[in-house]
Chain A
Amino acid sequence: MTPLLQIDGLNVRFKGARNVHAINDLSLTLMPGETLALLGESGSGKSVTLKTLLRLLPEKRTDLSGRVTFDGTDIMTLSGRALRSYRGGDVSMVFQDPGLALDPVYTVGQQIAETVMRHKGISRADAMEVALDMLHRVRIPSAERRLKNYPHELSGGMRQRVMIALALACRPRLLLADEPTTALDATVQIQILLLMRELQREFGMGVIFVTHDIGVAVEISERIAVMYAGQIVEEGSTRDIIRDPRHPYTRGLLAANLHEVARGARLDAIPGAPPSLEERPDSCPFAPRCAFALPACRAALPPVVTPGPRRRVACLRADETLEIAHA
């Protein structure tokens, strides 16, 4: 089977008053119909990765290198009409804050219909039908009425449903979701997660779901890739990552989730803060915060260890069993 999406050695650097090496040598493979969670701290480059996939980064201020193929076509070379039909047609995106990602002065119906018209070349009336159908599918009550609402007239959960309806209206094969539930209440978050799971099954599309909440990743994904400083430090099936985290960073994240921590016990907090990325990392970027770091970690980039099929860890000590000594 050919992968739906293949990223090889992607590098993204922002130029300007301050250089930022946002993505460093990132490689990733997504099979059709697969759901991948991209997990990582703020600033680790999750959003930049997604924007690169849609070619949404400001061209003048970014240096891009590496290869990204979608279903066999190199998307770095797309332009004009082909780029437009790729964006929104083959791949679509759900943003973190639906309040900001929807045009405030068009009704939600118009916004969904517009996408459909552009990609499917059908009439406005037909496109509105599609929009209505999509609102029904994302379980928006009294969808006919909502079609004519403006974004600000909807609650946050509703707006995110609209965003999802909009993203799925053209039946994309890949859905990119950038923290779509972070801004929502827990009770609403779970509704949206279940809805996405259901729609993913129904549409059979691939999904890349960005989050920094492990619980959310568990709920939505089959596979998890953990990002740190613009690199993927660990990747594997959700089960493996949760049950058997190998990278010290992944373990730290799991511990910070407080799921199983005893009340009042000291937390195994990862000390310090992520690197600023003004320089391209030439050693393990996590080493300064890592309790298990060896001198070798600070000397060179760690090797990628593959403990199993489609499983990899970028850590020198991936094969050891490590126990954090309590301070």
Chain B
Amino acid sequence: MSATDTRPLLSVRDLKKHFPIKGGILGRTQAMVQAVDGVSFDVRAGETLGIVGESGCGKSTTAKLLIGLVDRDEGDIELGGKTLGRDISLRALRRDIQMVFQDSYASLNPRMTILDSIAFGARVQGLDDPVGRARRLLGRVGLNPERFAGRYPHELSGGQRQRINIARALVMSPKVVVLDEAVSALDKSVEAQVLNLLSDLRAEFGLTYIFISHDLNVVRYISDRILVMYLGEVVELAPVDSIWAEQAHPYTRSLFSAMPSMDPDNRTEKPPLTGDPPNPINPPPGCRFHTRCALAADVCKARHPVLAPMAQGSAHWVACHLHDAASGHPRAGQGMPA
């Protein structure tokens, strides 16, 4: 599973998307939602990158940017060394990157049999025998093609529909699959079934996943590395064990502390974070987290921290003045208090 190839399969640089907010008497653009603001990361072949963050932090927008469902304002996307728009067309890119959405029902055309839904992509991309592919995949995701091929989405349970969506994403044999909260709407027991399926498929087809979720347990289970987003930015990016051992960014730490405890004798006593996630319309200057951060200092309001390795050559990256010895933060270089 670990990548031997050092070159990343997918490389994202400085991705930006600002949505205009229209309003006022003349309906002019009043403000911009900085949904994604300078996101960069690499994903190696066969790796699974987990993305976590609060609601509205730009996870889905990032995912949609990756397959061009939302147009980039800025930034580059490179797949297998080819840059989107320069070396490779969007259409071609979409053969290699596919996506599974959260709402299993809304992501299937209610007027199409599930077989047609799965085969559609293959047909569009001109692959041979789209129906045969679809039937095989249907079997592969655990649904008997004989019984299910002709059914309509509303005749399936949530878990079954999500399997269809996975099959649909796989029909073009993509290299990368983006899963945007693909299991969040499922019941716990069904979620486990689907996670098992995802693991199997990854192994069988050598897939690379970008797995978006707000459930840290799930992300930990499936991912190799975790990317933490806050207000459209990456605040921490690290291998899963490393981040589980030490959350370098105060926000990551709060996020982890917000997980309900599983120990009846050791329940959470103090909320790790107060208030709601702030508004991406007018993000605070400097470090975007400083308004909710217990360790914020003046420098956090003034200067924007950059994402950098914790130590030379470390795979654990963080964007926080605490970890930058030269930042001028009172606790700079000391890391987080225990």
A and B interact physically: yes
Residues of A within 8 A of B (CB): 41-42, 155-158, 185-191, 193-194, 212-216, 218-219, 238-239, 242-243, 252-253, 255-261, 263-264, 266-271, 273
Bound: A187/B271 CA distance, A: 8
Which residues 241-297 of B have a CB within 8 angstroms of A? 254-255, 257-265, 267-274, 276-277
Q: Is there an interface contact between B193 and A219, defined as CB atoms closer than 8 Å? A: no
Q: Is there an interface contact between B276 and A269, defined as CB atoms closer than 8 Å? A: no
Bound: A157/B289 CA distance, A: 19
Cβ-neighbour of A41 out of B55, B189, B199, B276 (below 8 A): B189
Say yes or no for B300: interface residue by CB 8 A criterion.
no
Q: Is there an interface contact between A256 and B262, defined as CB atoms closer than 8 Å? A: no
Q: Is there an interface contact between B189 and A270, defined as CB atoms closer than 8 Å? A: yes
Q: Is there an interface contact between A186 and B192, defined as CB atoms closer than 8 Å? A: no
Q: Is there an interface contact between A271 and B188, defined as CB atoms closer than 8 Å? A: no
List, in ascending order, chain B residues with CB within 8 A of A264's CB. Answer: 1, 199, 221
Bound: A101/B320 CA distance, A: 40
Bound: A267/B269 CA distance, A: 30
Q: A187-B272, A190-B272, A263-B221 are in contact. Are A219 and B195 (CB under 8 A)?
A: no
A-B contacts, 18 of them at CB < 8 A, read A156-B276, A185-B54, A185-B276, A186-B216, A187-B255, A187-B273, A190-B257, A190-B268, A214-B262, A218-B267, A238-B264, A242-B262, A252-B189, A256-B191, A258-B221, A260-B262, A267-B193, A269-B196
Say yes or no for B136: interface residue by CB 8 A criterion.
no
Bound: A238/B218 CA distance, A: 23
Least CB separation from B194: chain A residue:
A269
Bound: A154/B111 CA distance, A: 37
Q: How far is the CB of B12 from chain A (nearest CB, A)?
A: 24
Q: Is there an interface contact between A189 and B262, defined as CB atoms closer than 8 Å? A: no
Q: Is there an interface contact between B276 and A257, defined as CB atoms closer than 8 Å? A: no
Q: A256-B192, A264-B199, A273-B159 are in contact. Are A242 and B276 (CB under 8 A)?
A: no
List, in ascending order, chain B residues with CB within 8 A of A193's CB. Answer: 260, 268
Known: A213-B260, A216-B260, A242-B264; 19 extra A-B contacts, CB below 8 A, are A155-B276, A158-B276, A190-B268, A190-B272, A194-B268, A212-B187, A214-B188, A215-B259, A215-B261, A218-B261, A242-B263, A258-B195, A260-B262, A263-B221, A263-B240, A264-B221, A269-B189, A269-B192, A269-B193
Cβ-neighbour of B260 out of A190, A255, A267, A270 (below 8 A): A190
Bound: A190/B254 CA distance, A: 11
Bound: A41/B257 CA distance, A: 25
Bound: A155/B274 CA distance, A: 13
Least CB separation from B267: chain A residue:
A219
Cβ-neighbour of B196 out of A190, A219, A266 (below 8 A): A266
Say yes or no for B301: interface residue by CB 8 A criterion.
no
Bound: A212/B188 CA distance, A: 8
Q: Is there an interface contact between B188 and A253, defined as CB atoms closer than 8 Å? A: yes
| Minimum-distance CB pairs A-B, first 7 | A215-B260, A269-B192, A270-B189, A256-B188, A258-B217, A267-B192, A256-B192
Which residues 38-71 of B have a CB within 8 angstroms of A? 54-55
Q: A187-B54, A266-B196, A268-B192 are in contact. Are A218 and B157 (CB under 8 A)?
A: no
Q: A190-B271, A215-B260, A218-B267 are in contact. Are A185 and B189 (CB under 8 A)?
A: no
Q: How far is the CB of A111 from chain B (nearest CB, A)?
A: 21
Q: Is there an interface contact between A256 and B189, defined as CB atoms closer than 8 Å? A: yes
Q: How far is the CB of A205 from chain B (nearest CB, A)?
A: 19
Which of A158, A214, A239, A263: most chain B Cβ within 10 A? Answer: A263
Q: A42-B187, A219-B268, A269-B193 are in contact. Are A190 and B258 (CB under 8 A)?
A: yes
Cβ-neighbour of B259 out of A186, A253, A256, A268 (below 8 A): A186
Q: How far is the CB of A97 from chain B (nearest CB, A)?
A: 14
List, in ascending order, chain B residues with CB within 8 A of A270's CB. Answer: 189, 192-193
Q: Is there an interface contact between A239 and B264, defined as CB atoms closer than 8 Å? A: yes
List, in ascending order, chain A residues with CB within 8 A of B325's CB. Answer: none
Q: Is there an interface contact between B221 and A219, defined as CB atoms closer than 8 Å? A: no
Least CB separation from B223: chain A residue:
A263
Q: B174-198, CB under 8 A of A: which get 1 and which 0?
A: 0000000000000111111101100
